[in-house]
């Protein structure tokens, strides 16, 4: 800063500094949340990549750890498509391509999350040495249906308003996938199965309200953080097998 006051007049430098110190509470809160979410997102993606590489490197040829490593990398890669554009928006502000990038990210992550649960079912069969034909059919059918629905242009992915009807349509089979996995792990009767059941319940319990209410009530979007933590817990369950 230059001189702070001349003849009782405050210089522009001081006015600029004052404007930063006395930002409206709402604007200050938004900036703090943007910084926090950016750090959170980057840390989460770094964790997914690191965990995946660690499990692959230390698997010792064990199929379950190889699958878990791929699961973690799939999770991180898919989520990167929509988290990196969000962080970019916080840093650079809205750009002409921001809406498209966010929409593409949601589309890609919706597909990769579906594949995530199919791979998790394969891990289940490796852990318990058994599979269920009925579960395999339900999971495969619901996953294929969801992926097909995600590809329709009626989803309006590349515009912020999206499509409430198509969001409901593509998330119904995803809910079936989640319920099926919850039942399987709960019936395993093991500590691992109970922990995985809890993590899946939390993830879907946070995800469903966001898909239904977030457009009308943006604050509901905060539930995506505990949802993300639930997925971290799923990966940690794999790391404990090393």
pLDDT digits (tens, 9 = 90+) for 182-234: 999 999 999 999 999 999 999 999 999 998 888 788 889 889 999 999 999 99
In a domain, 125, yes or no: yes
End-to-end CA distance of the chain: 56
In a domain, 14, yes or no: no
pLDDT digits (tens, 9 = 90+) for 88-147: 998 888 899 999 999 999 999 999 999 999 999 999 999 999 888 999 999 999 999 999
Distances (CA, A) of 63 to 68, 76, 129, 160, 225: 8, 20, 12, 41, 30
In a domain, 18, yes or no: no
DSSP secondary structure string for all residues of 52-91: HHHHHHT-TT-HHHHHHHHHHHHHHHHHHHHHHHHHHHHH
Q: Residues 16, 37: contact at Cβ < 8 Å?
A: no
In a domain, 10, yes or no: no
- Structural domain of 160: 25-239
Tokens for 200, please give them: 């899946």
Q: Cα(57)–Cα(159) distance, rounded to whole angstroms?
A: 41
In a domain, 223, yes or no: yes
Q: How many residues does the chain have?
A: 242
In a domain, 16, yes or no: no
Q: Residues 218, 199: contact at Cβ < 8 Å?
A: no
Indicate the number of domains in the chain: 1
In a domain, 47, yes or no: yes
pLDDT digits (tens, 9 = 90+) for 130-184: 888 999 999 999 999 999 999 999 999 999 889 999 999 999 999 999 999 999 9
- Pick from 227, 216, 229, 221: nearest CA to 34: 221
Say which CATH number the domain at 105 has.
Answer: 1.20.1070.10
In a domain, 210, yes or no: yes
> What Rg value do the Cα atoms of the chain yield, rounded?
22
Distances (CA, A) of 34 to 89, 133, 150: 9, 45, 28
Q: Cα(105)–Cα(169) distance, rounded to whole angstroms?
A: 19
Cβ count within 10 A of residue 94? 8
Angle at 141 between CA 137 and CA 143, to 5 degrees: 120
């Amino acid at each position: 800063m230059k001189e702070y006051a001349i003849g009782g007049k405050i210089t522009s430098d001081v006015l600029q500094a004052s404007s930063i110190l006395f930002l409206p509470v709402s604007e200050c809160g938004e900036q703090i949340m943007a910084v926090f979410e950016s750090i959170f997102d980057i840390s989460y993606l770094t964790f997914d990549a690191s965990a995946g590489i660690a499990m692959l490197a230390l698997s010792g040829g064990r199929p379950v750890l190889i699958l878990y490593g791929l699961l973690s990398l799939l999770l991180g890669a898919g989520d990167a498509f929509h988290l990196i554009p969000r962080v970019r928006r916080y840093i650079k502000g809205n750009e002409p391509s921001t809406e498209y990038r966010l929409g593409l990210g949601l589309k890609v992550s919706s597909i990769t999350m579906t594949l995530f649960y199919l791979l998790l079912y394969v891990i289940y069969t490796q852990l318990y040495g058994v599979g269920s034909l009925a579960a395999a059919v339900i999971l495969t059918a619901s996953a294929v249906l969801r992926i097909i629905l995600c590809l329709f242009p009626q989803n309006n992915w590349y515009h912020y308003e999206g499509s409430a009807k198509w969001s409901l349509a593509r998330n119904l089979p995803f809910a079936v996938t989640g319920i099926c996995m919850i039942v399987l792990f709960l019936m395993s009767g093991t500590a691992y199965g109970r922990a995985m059941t809890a993590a899946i319940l939390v993830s879907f319990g946070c995800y469903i309200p966001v898909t239904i209410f977030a457009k009308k009530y943006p604050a509901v979007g905060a539930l995506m953080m505990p949802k993300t933590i639930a997925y971290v817990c799923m990966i940690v369950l794999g790391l404990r097998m090393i």
